[in-house]
């Protein structure tokens, strides 16, 4: 069991490294993002896919547990909504933060939208969807 301080330090290091890396790859640049999604430039796609390949190999070597995960009813519709929003706004939940840090002030609106969407998901799930854990922060 890791101490609270160690987990805090790990999250600070991870956040700093993630923001630095994602920004330098170009994920905060809408032009680069659209070029990735339309396969005009494979650089960012290879960055992401290459990272996944390295992680899969490393986790296999380190014998990190393959955790189960049920494909629940919210996965596909949620992913469709997320993919649509990502292509339109250029932001997955970390990217608008990086965009603002890079000077793109309108990305603050994206952040507001993300926070509204997250709160809306919990509300809608409690009221309408009634999905179990794995969705909407449950």
127 in contact with another protein (CB under 8 A): no
How distant, in Å, are the alpha carbons of 2, 37, 42, 66, 93 from that of 113?
A: 34, 22, 29, 33, 10
8 in contact with another protein (CB under 8 A): yes
Q: Tell the smallest beta-carbon distance from residue 40 to another protein (Å).
A: 8
Q: Map the footprint of another protein across residues 37-66, applying CB under 8 A.
A: 37-39, 41-44, 46-56, 58-59, 62-66
The burial class, CB within 10 Å (0-12 / 13-18 / 19+), for 117 is: middle
Q: Map the footprint of another protein across residues 75-114, applying CB under 8 A.
A: 75-94, 96-107, 109-114
How far apart are alpha carbons 138 and 117 in whole angstroms?
A: 15
Q: Which is nearer to another protein, 46 or 127 (CB)?
A: 46
17 in contact with another protein (CB under 8 A): yes
In the set 126, 127, 128, 132, which binds another protein (CB under 8 A)? Answer: 132
Torsion, CA 64, CA 73, CA 135, CA 51, rounded to 10: 40
72 in contact with another protein (CB under 8 A): yes
126 in contact with another protein (CB under 8 A): no
Q: Tell the smallest beta-carbon distance from residue 127 to another protein (Å).
A: 14
Q: Are 111 and 96 in contact (CB under 8 A)?
A: yes
Residue where the block lists tokens 């380190």: 62
H/E stretch holding 69: none
130 in contact with another protein (CB under 8 A): no
Q: What does the block give as tokens for 133?
A: 């854990």
Q: Which is nearer to another protein, 118 or 127 (CB)?
A: 118
């Amino acid at each position: 069991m890791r101490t609270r301080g160690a987990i805090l330090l790990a999250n600070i290091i991870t956040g700093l490294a993630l923001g630095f890396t994602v920004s330098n790859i170009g994920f905060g640049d809408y032009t680069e993002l659209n070029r990735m999604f339309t396969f005009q430039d494979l650089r960012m796609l290879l960055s992401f896919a290459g990272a996944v390949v390295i992680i899969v190999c490393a986790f296999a070597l380190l014998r990190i547990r393959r955790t189960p995960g049920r494909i629940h009813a919210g996965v596909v519709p949620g992913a469709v909504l997320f993919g649509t929003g990502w292509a339109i706004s250029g932001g997955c939940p970390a990217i608008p933060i990086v965009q603002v840090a890079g000077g793109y002030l309108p990305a603050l609106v994206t952040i507001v939208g993300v926070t509204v969407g997250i709160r809306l998901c919990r509300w809608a799930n409690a009221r309408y969807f009634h999905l179990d854990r794995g969705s909407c922060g449950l």
